[in-house]
Amino acid sequence: MNLEAADRIKFLVLDVDGVLTDGRLWFGADGEAFKVFHVRDGAGIKALQAAGVTVAIISGRESAAVARRARDLGVRHVRQGAEDKAAAFRELIAELGVAPALTACIVDDTPDLPLMALVALPIAVADAHPSVLAAAHHVTRASGGQGAVREICDLLIEART
């Protein structure tokens, strides 16, 4: 990753399924039963926020587990059920007063392509869809749900020092 570009990032948007999780959806008789989050991703998110970067979650799905995880990590900006992630992103940066040139996202699949086009630093997890990999400025070594978010948090913190 170009650490020169990374040191300007003030706002990081995370997708959930396939980024904060491994992308598998677990359903029980009553609907979605589980989401599995990597503890190191959580530690990275907390450290990145402590370093002054605002973190947001934009997800196409609704999940009580995501709301709980965001609350546990102190992520205050969460948009779930966002069919149009680019529109949700535009709303967030307008609300927060952040310029697109200071933003990054970590994503994995084709519905994320419009969001990738709006941020300064679009990042794909290692196991992302080929079109997302092609559009990314950086690709993680780790797959989604396997520490990819921590990898980027560490890089962004390193770039700031």
Q: For the segment 102-142, what is each residue's pLDDT rounded down to a tens digit? A: 999 999 999 999 999 999 999 999 999 999 999 999 999 99
Task: Provide the whole-model pTM.
Answer: 0.94
Q: For the segment 22-77, what is each residue's pLDDT rounded down to a tens digit? A: 887 777 777 766 788 999 999 999 999 999 999 999 999 998 999 999 999 999 99
CB-based burial of residue 22 (10 Å sphere; 0-12 exposed, 13-18 middle, 19+ buried)? middle
Please report the domains of the chain, with CATH numbers, ordered by start residue.
Answer: 3-160 (3.40.50.1000)
Contacts of 93 (CB under 8 A, 6+ apart): 11, 99, 100, 103
Res. 95 pLDDT band, cuts 50 70 90:
very high
